[in-house]
Amino acid sequence: MSRPATEDSKAIGPGEAGEARPRHQTAVWGGPRLRAAVPTYLLVVAVPALIAVALLLTAGESSQARTAGGAMAGDHGVQLFISVALVILAAELFGRVAVRLGQPMVVGEIFAGICLGPSVLGGLAPGMVSWLFPAELRPVLQGLADLGLVALMFCVGQETRHAPLKGQKRTAMAVAHAGIAGPFLGGVLLATFLYRDWAGPQANPVIFAMFLGSALSITAFPVLARILVERDMLRTMAGRMSMLCAAIADVVAWCLIAAMTAVAGRDTPTHAVITVVLVVVYGAAMATLGRRLLARLFAALEGRGDELRLLVLLAGLLLSAAATSAIGIHAIFGAFLYGLCCPTGALSKLTEQINVVSATLLLPFFFVGTGLRTDLWRSGFDLALAGVTALIVVVAMAGKVAGPVLMARASGLERHDAITVGVLLNTRGLTELVVLNLGLALGLLSDRLFVALVLMALITTAMTAPLLDLLKRSLPVTGPAGKSGRQASARRI
C-alpha cells in the first residue's frame, strides 16, 4: 500500500530507503544548503535586478518629455483594473441582494449601475466617478459593454427559438399582438405630449413616436425566463403562454426598432430606403439559406470538440453583428438574428457558457454605462420629471397588462392565468435598457426623458415579483389542464 501523499515531502534518512529519489531533492533548500545558495542567488538575481533599476532611473532623465504621458497611462492602468473589479463585484453583490429580497437579479444589477454613476456615487464623492471612469477609459468600458450586449442578444435569440411552440399558437399570437398594440399606442400618444420638450436633438415627430411605442412594447425575455425558473412556473399554463407571447412580441418589436433605426439619422430618403432594403435582404438570407447552412455546419462539427465549435460559433456571431453594423443598424440586431438562426439543441451547452461569461464579466459594464448616463442631478429631478416618470409607468403598465389580459380571457384562459400572463409580459428589465441606450445614442431621447424611461424600466421590473405574490395569495393557481400549479409542475414542456 502506498504512503499518503503528505509524506512525500519528508527527507529520506540514510537507512530508510536505498537511494534518495529525485522528487525528494527539494529538501536541499533546508538548513546548510540554503545558506550555501545565498551567494549564488545574490549573483544571478539581486545584482541584475539592481543594475536594471539603475538603468531605468538613468533612462528616466532622458525621457522627461514623455513622463507625463507615461504616468497618465500607468494611472489609467491602475484605474482600469480597479474599476473592472469594482463593477463586477458591485453587480454581483447588488444582484444577490435583490434575489434575497425576492426580486430578479437584474433589478439589483441596474441599481448597482445607477449607484456607481453620478446619481449616487457622484453625489457622495463627486471626484470618485471621474477617477474611476475617466473619459479616456470610457471607450474601453463601452467596448466591453458592446461585447456583452452582442452575447446577450445572441442568447435571447436562442431562447426565443427555444420557446415552447406546440399548442396554443393562435392564442399566443393574439395575446402577443395585444401586448404590442396596447403599449405601442400608449407610446405614440405619449410622444405627442412629450415631443416638444422631451425629445432628443435628432428626433422628428414620426420617428420619436415610433421609437417610444416600440420601447414600451418590449418584454425582457431573459429576465422573464429567469423569473419563471426561480418560481417553478415554466410548466404552468401562464408560464408557457407568457414565454411564447414574449418570444413573438419581441421579434415584432425588434423588427420595428430595426426599421426605425434604419430610417433614423439618414441624410436622404434614398439612403433610408437602401438601409431598409439591405436589412430585409440580410434577414431573409439568414432566415433561409443561413439557417440551413448553420445547421449543416454545426452538425458536421459534432464530435470534434467543444473548443472548435465555440470558436466557430463566436466567429459567426461577431461577423453577423459586424454585418448589421456595416448595413447601418446596431450590431445587436445581427447578434439576435444569428441566435434565431443557429440550431438550439446541439449548442445549448455552448450558449450557456457564453451566457455565463457575458452575465458575469461583460454585462456589468453595460449597467455602469447606463448608470453613468442616468444623472438625476444634472437632469434636474424635479416635479416635472417625477410626473413624466409616473405617467410613463402608468401608460406602460396599462398597455402591457390590460390588452394581453383581455385577449387571454377572450381566448379561454382562466382568470388567474390571464392576469399572470399580463403581469409577466410587463417585465422589461435589461432588454428595455438596451433599447433606451440605443435611442439615446441615436439622439432620439433627451437626457431627462432617458432618466424617466430608465426609472420606468426599473419600477415595472421590480413590480413583477410583488404582483405575482399578490396573485398567488388572492387567486387559485391553475396548470396546463386546470390542475394546481404544483401538480402541473411535474410535467415538462
pLDDT digits (tens, 9 = 90+) for 254-303: 788 887 777 776 656 677 778 888 888 998 999 899 999 999 998 888 88
Per-residue pLDDT, averaged over 236-264, amounts to 80
Decide if pLDDT at 331 tops 70: yes
Q: What is the mean pLDDT of the chain?
A: 78
pLDDT, greater one: 31 or 86: 86
Helix, strand, coil in percent for the chain, rounding step 5? 80, 0, 20
For residue 469, how many other CB atoms are within 10 A of its CB? 12
User: For the chain, which residues make up each domain, given as ranges?
Assistant: 105-488
- Residue 221 has, within 13 A of its CA and on its CB side, a CA count of 26
Residues 6+ apart with CB under 8 A from 223: 104, 106, 427, 428, 429, 430, 431, 461
Per-residue pLDDT, averaged over 226-251, amounts to 80
Decide if pLDDT at 74 tops 60: no
> 53-57, 95-99, 310-314: which has the minimum mean pLDDT?
53-57
Percent of the chain at pLDDT exceeding 70 = 77
pLDDT on residue 43: 53
pLDDT on residue 482: 40
The model's pTM is 0.69
Tens of pLDDT along 129-157? 888 888 888 888 888 888 988 998 888 78
DSSP-derived secondary structure letter, 473 = H
- Closest to 191 in 3D by CA, of 428, 354, 391: 391
Confidence category of residue 22, pLDDT binned at 50, 70, 90: very low
Per-residue pLDDT, averaged over 329-341, amounts to 86
Q: Does domain 105-488 have CATH number 2.40.37.10?
A: no
SS3 83: helix
Tens of pLDDT along 182-210? 999 999 999 999 999 899 998 889 989 99
Per-residue pLDDT, averaged over 45-68, amounts to 52
**DSSP alpha helices (H): ranges in 362-445?**
363-373, 376-379, 383-397, 403-410, 415-425, 429-441
> 263-272, 422-431, 481-490: which has the minimum mean pLDDT?
481-490
pLDDT on residue 307: 86
Phi, psi of 72 (to 5 degrees): -60, -45
- Closest to 418 in 3D by CA, of 240, 238, 244: 238
